[in-house]
Amino acid sequence: MTSIANTRNLKKIKIETELEVFESVSNLPEDIQELMNKAHEARKNAYAPYSHFKVGAAISLANGETVIGNNQENAAFPSGLCAERVAVFHAGAQYPGVQLTAIALTAGSTQHETVVPIPPCGACRQSLAEYEVNQSSSIPVYFMGETGKVVKAQSIKDLLPLIFDSSYL
Ligand code: THU
């Protein structure tokens, strides 16, 4: 009976996300091209001897600074950290309270060419969301493989709907 009652009262929530796709880096606004180039530079220094998958991140800040990150792996696998979190925690550590204005990400295997856009993992989305919620302005995320198309999400919320944040605590 309960399940029938529940079925009768069923309401649905539809979640829609719109992402923009750029054909290549050269189609991005100039400042984002520069940011993506910094992500590519950062990717070169990733420490990924186990996965052979290198990720670079660059975050622009409202004070004009840019912070970078890359994935740092560890022989004790879970002790490593993704590029996005290295970058965003660096921003939080060095420039606390300064707004993040955009994030550029590039990722790919060292063993084959990666041409598809690689989105940030769930844990990184959650970590980035903390900063977006705190600064109450959206942080656009641009992500790509090594080459090829670049996808833009206008907000972390577009990549992680139903965000868990401190308002629930
Ligand atoms: N990685 C990132 O740096 N960011 C992501 O969003 C996904 C995965 C790293 C973690 C690990 O070093 C390697 O890529 C393979 O998972």
In CATH, what number is assigned to the domain containing residue 140?
Answer: 3.40.140.10
Counting the structural domains of the chain, the total is 1
The mean pLDDT value for 37-44 works out to 98
Give the distance (Å) from ligand 1 centre to CA of residue 71: 6
In a domain, 137, yes or no: yes
Q: Which domain holds residue 69?
A: 19-159
7 is a domain residue: no
Residue nearest to atom 9 of ligand 1 (CA): 82
Closest C-alpha residue for ligand 1 atom 8: 82
Nearest residue (by CA) to ligand 1, atom 14, is 53
Residue 82 lies in a domain: yes
Those residues whose C-beta lies under 8 Å from the C-beta of residue 94, and which sit 6 or more positions away, are: 67
Tell me: the pLDDT tens digits for 135-154?
989 999 999 999 999 999 99
Q: Which H or E run contains 149? A: none
- Classify residue 64 by burial, with Cβ atoms within 10 Å: 0-12, 13-18, 19+: exposed
From 47, 50, 51, give the residue whose CB has the most ligand 1 atoms within 8 Å, as the site to mutate.
51
10 confidence band (pLDDT: 50, 70, 90): confident
73 lines ligand 1 (CB under 6 A): yes
Active-site annotation holds for 84: yes
Interstrand relation of 100-109 and 141-144 (parallel, antiparallel or unpaired): parallel
H or E segment at 25?
A: none
Residue 69 is assigned to a structural domain of this protein: yes
pTM listed for this prediction: 0.94
Q: What separation in Å is there between the alpha carbon of 53 and the centre of ligand 1?
A: 7
pLDDT of 8 higher than 90: no
Q: pLDDT at residue 11 above 70?
A: yes
Q: Which helix (H) or strand (E) holds 61?
A: strand 53-61
Residue 103, beta-bridge partner list = 59, 141
CA 100 to mean position of chain CA atoms: 12
- Average pLDDT over every residue of 10-19: 93
Q: Which residues contact 85 (CB under 8 A, 6 or more apart)?
A: 69, 123, 124, 127
| Cα separation, 2 vs 95, whole angstroms | 53
Q: Are 56 and 107 in contact (CB under 8 A)?
A: yes
